[in-house]
Amino acid sequence: MRNRLLTFIVIGLAALLNAPLAQAQSSAAKHNVVLILADDLGWTDLACFGSDFYETPNLDRLARTGMKFTQNYSACTVCSPTRSALMTGKYPARLHITDWIPGRMPDNPKLLVPDWTKELPLEETCIAKVFQSAGYATASMGKWHLGDEPYFPEKHGFDVNVAGLNAGSPPTYFAPYGIKTLAEGKPGEYLTDRLGDEAAQFIEKSKDKPFFLYLPHFAVHTPIQGRADLVEKYRHKLRPGLRHTNVTYAAMIESLDAAVGRVLGKLDELKLADRTLVAFTSDNGGLITRGTTTNAPLRLGKASAYEGGVRVPAIVRWPGVTQPGSTNSTPVITMDWFVTLVEAAGLGAPNSGSARPQGGRERAGSETGAPGRDGVSLVPLLRGTGSLPARDLFWHYPHHQHYQLGGAMCYGAIRSGDFKLIEFFNDMHVELYNLRADIGEQRDLAATMPEKAAALRTRLHAWRKEVGAQMPVPNPNHDPARPEYTPPPPAKGKKKGAK
């Protein structure tokens, strides 16, 4: 009896002593996840995506060691809706977050925008909450733009919030910043550099437990401001015949790339790279006003209904899984990253969050996505072991962007296979393009392929009903004799910004 008691005591002590070791081993087995989001970065704004002027050695290295997605789409043509989709895995139309917050109306609109949501509701299950609940350290470092303080990142599962608030752009990229959620830097410090340093410090502090780092840079959003040394570098690099030529924007992109390099370098230094998935993408297409950049061969840019507004670069490096230097041309979209990253981390399919379509009923989930999510897992593509089931992609923008070059009025769109149909709500006319044959969307096929156009329009309308999309309504005070939007004169000595 005494021997048996001693045996139980020894076993109990061993279990207690080994518990920390078992916990450490369990943490070590989990994959870290780093999700980096650029702001307004166009499809060809990286060297590895075709730029002939901008230098992006760190992102190029990420592409050489991972997988590029050449037909990756943002969920919206402007920022806040895409960010809400990234955080929840749901279409912006389903969330009713359909414009940049708080949006802007023209002075004489033909249509009035719906009563849309201007924050990410606390009832929604944010991706950070999924990781936090699984024992991950979580941090958001950079632009939030999904609601004021009651809806800040800390309320959505992030342990740490650096620089996140509801502003769409920083007052300046040089300290003093005037950002209440960011401790001031030394005068002249550059914001993008600072966020890279903050991210590296978070990785250092979290090295002994799994972490989820969300790094949504303000760059390369307006104001277009670059470090003087880099601006001068690109001024000397200019030559005739270049597609990209904005030296200040080029400087901003190099700083963005260098901040990515700080993150990759810290992962290497701490020997965490082999068990850290790194994903990089953008919230919408490149801004083309004032010669900021060009998305050619895509049509137009940020705020437009065309490819330049929504096709953006994406790179994923998942060591031991993604084939180094691989490229995938499957059409994918923002909502896919939620499901993909959660599955890649081994956390299973996330539970359904709150959804508010159709009388407040919870969504059951798509055939190929996680319950309650509109995205699908890209893990088969990352593994190189399969393809995605056929599906259509949708956009819904019941708002106005007259103040952007080529800006869109209210529209909806569907991509089905190689075809893309755009429906403009002002007069309900449609345009149809074959993206495989006409990536620049120059040949409207709506008149020559009426049956195809009609079928896609029917599918688009059915989807809007399914997700409970809000539609604009006629403005009873619209004056057809006046333009919808009259651009104001630029402020003297100050560049006019755009959200």
pLDDT digit string, tens, across residues 392-446: 999 999 999 876 666 668 999 999 999 999 999 999 999 999 999 999 999 999 9
- In this structure, what are the phi and psi dihedrals at residue 432, rounded to the nearest 5 degrees? -130, 130
Q: How far apart are CA 53 and CA 239, in angstroms?
A: 9
State how far the Cα of 51 lies from the Cα of 257, in Å rounded to an integer: 14
Which one has a higher pLDDT value, 368 or 311?
A: 311
Contact 144, 216 (CB under 8 A): yes
Query: Where is pLDDT greater, at 406 or 77?
Result: 77
Apex CA 310: angle with CA 304 and CA 315, to 5°?
A: 155
Q: Which residues pair with 474 in a beta bridge?
A: 111
Residue 310 CB burial class (10 angstroms; 0-12, 13-18, ≥19): buried
Q: Distances in Å between the alpha carbon of 393 and those of 206, 226, 396, 482?
A: 37, 36, 11, 36
CB neighbours (10 Å) of residue 482?
A: 10
Neighbours of 26 (CB within 10 A): 12
CA distance 137 to 449: 53
pLDDT at 3 over 60: no
C-alpha to C-alpha distance for 228 and 50, rounded to whole angstroms: 25
Strand pairing report for 211-216 and 32-38: parallel
Residue 28 has a pLDDT of: 45
Q: CA-CA distance, 278 to 317, in Å (whole number)?
A: 5
Q: Domains of the chain by range and CATH?
A: 28-390 (3.40.720.10)
Among 167-181, 358-372, 483-497, which range has the highest average pLDDT? 167-181
**474 within 8 A of 112, measured Cβ to Cβ:** yes
Predicted confidence (pLDDT) at residue 358 exceeds the cutoff of 90: no
- pLDDT at site 498: 35
**Omega before 102 cis (within 30°)?**
yes
- pLDDT of residue 368 exceeding 50, the answer is no
- pLDDT tens digits, one per residue of 4-35: 444 444 344 444 444 443 343 344 468 999 99
pLDDT of residue 243: 96
**Tokens standing for residue 484:** 């919808």
Do residues 309 and 287 lie in contact, with contact meaning Cβ atoms separated by under 8 Å? no
In whole angstroms, how far apart are CA 96 and each of 117, 261, 306, 311, 475? 5, 36, 21, 22, 20
How high is the pLDDT of residue 359?
31
CA distance 180 to 283: 23
- Read off the pLDDT of each residue in 456-463 and give the average, rounded to a whole number: 98
The Cα–Cα gap between 462 and 455 comes to 11
